[in-house]
Structure 1
């Protein structure tokens, strides 16, 4: 029995897009899964194309992401128009073009992702591989490397392993056998000391004030929790706070919101049983901004200007409490 599924047709089609005359830019919304996947795609393109760069649309401030970039030597940079103008081919991993306005400005030749597809936003590219059942795109990239007979080096294997670990939340979220197989396979090549060093770099000391705000504003809404953190220096802080609250006993979903760069950002986490977080995100926004994700994890964003002067926290409370039998109370 093969360790991974055979991808002969996909590999042939993907490699057929690579040409020495082309310069490629791999675009990401940087998180561990995206960073590991981009590094893997860069390895696949090595010596097959002219130039390769990785660029992220977001400001990277999470300590574990910064540690991952530093220790695993991931050459990513901020995506700006002047940088994009230097490249003629574009690839997108761990996202789809409609997930962010900055992505929609580029014409992608390659899109590899694991987020759910929507009928309203079909993905068009020369090569598209989207597998919503997979726990991490890093698993998909590991399968590609295996099918291409590329043995991942220590740094690449560690990056892919950490990406799988984060997106499956150490296999607490939805995953399939392929995720476990990839994690086990990569363990042979990864550096456990680097993996531990990265995973232990989760918080900045000055982020504790956002936890304080979240606790102060914490509300019980039905079977879930909601907290608004006010203005934050980086939306990644909201992810960390939301993940923390998922550990509370007898809570089936968590929503944490905050404002950053004139946008209301909403992070949703769930146990995958009572409510679908992707659908819940779309319901909250109800056509405003962007929203989507998995059954257990989702994200939504909207310009504060689109709220017509309404306070972001009040906006969220109204949207979350719109059910007839929903009760909202402070903790």
Structure 2
């Protein structure tokens, strides 16, 4: 019996897309899972196309992401019009075309992702593989490699292993047996010393001031927490704080918000048992911005320029969280 599920039909459909005379760009919103998945897809395309590149839409400032790119030699570049113009066809992994405004101008031929399918339906592309039950897109790409009889080299295996570890939060977030199988399989080829280097590169000393601000603004709402960070230099800071507050005893969810440029960003985290963070994000901000995600992790982004009158971002989020009643909030310190 095969270790992973067989993907013969999927593989035939996907491989039929790749032409020797075409240049492909794999587009990502860079994080560990997307970086690893892009590296794996690049390996699969390999000699099947003329050239494969990787382009990211976001500013990469999280130290674990930077360490991952450095130690595992992931050749990703910032996505700009000049880069797009160099390629014939485009793929997107660990995301979907409606997840970021910078994806709007690109016509994708291939979509591989593990996030929920939007209510409007799956993106219309020649090849689409979306499996929301999976804990990580890295698991899906590991299955592709296995079915193609490609044994992942050390750096690729390490990237995929870290992708599974990060997106399942070391199996604390929802996952399925296939994620565990992928993790176990990849440990045979990955470099665990590099994994340690990457995981120890999460915090920069300059970021500690954000923790101070987060604690000062921290409020409790039932079994949840909320803190507003005001303007931030990097939205990844909000993600780090949201993950951090989920370690607090008796807390089942948290929301961390902040303003990056002209965009209000709201990060949701939950224990996966009580509130559904994806539904919560969509119900709060789906009518004014992009919002959604998994039961345990979600995100909303709202362009503040759309409002005719200037709004207070913190007050805007608080009113949504408390349904207009601040009495539900309790100061922590």
Query: TM-score scaled by structure 2?
Result: 0.97
* 2:319/2:325 contact within 8 Å kept: no
Deviations 1:7-63 (A, max 9, x none): 001111111100111100000000000000000000000011011100000000000
Distance in 1 of aligned mates of 2:180 and 2:174: 11
Question: Residue 74 in 1 paired to residue 67 in 2?
Answer: no
Alignment of 1:170-185 (within 5 A): 170-185=170-185
Alignment of 1:87-126 (within 5 A): 87-126=87-126
Q: 1:310 corresponds to which residue?
A: 311
Distance in 1 of aligned mates of 2:192 and 2:302: 39
What's the CA shift for 1:274?
A: 1.3
* 1:271/1:296 contact within 8 Å kept: yes
Q: 1:142 corresponds to which residue?
A: 142
Distance in 2 of aligned mates of 1:226 and 1:306: 24
Alignment of 1:1-331 (within 5 A): 1-307=1-307, 308-322=309-323, 327-331=328-332
Query: TM-score scaled by structure 1?
Result: 0.98
Deviations 1:243-294 (A, max 9, x none): 0000011111100011112110110000111110001111221411100100
What's the CA shift for 1:223?
A: 1.7
* 2:319/2:326 contact within 8 Å kept: no
Distance in 2 of aligned mates of 1:149 and 1:240: 37
Q: Residue 77 and residue 129 in structure 1: after superposition, are their counterparts in 2 closer, same or farther (change >3 A)?
A: same
Q: Residue 158 and residue 322 in structure 1: after superposition, are their counterparts in 2 closer, same or farther (change >3 A)?
A: same
* 1:57/1:102 contact within 8 Å kept: yes
What's the CA shift for 1:123?
A: 1.1
* 1:222/1:326 contact within 8 Å kept: no
* SS state at 2:34 partner: helix
* 2:62/2:202 contact within 8 Å kept: yes
Distance in 1 of aligned mates of 2:202 and 2:86: 34
Instruction: Provide runs of 4+ in structure 1 moved above 3 Å.
Output: 323-326
What's the CA shift for 1:120?
A: 2.0
Deviations 1:203-258 (A, max 9, x none): 01000111111100000112210001111111001000000000011111100011
* SS state at 2:47 partner: coil
* SS state at 2:73 partner: coil
Aligned CA RMSD, in angstroms, stands at 1.2
* 1:98/1:121 contact within 8 Å kept: no
* 2:94/2:114 contact within 8 Å kept: yes
What's the CA shift for 1:122?
A: 2.9
Distance in 1 of aligned mates of 2:24 and 2:72: 21
Deviations 1:89-128 (A, max 9, x none): 0000000000111112100000000000122243111000
Q: Residue 204 and residue 58 in structure 1: after superposition, are their counterparts in 2 closer, same or farther (change >3 A)?
A: same
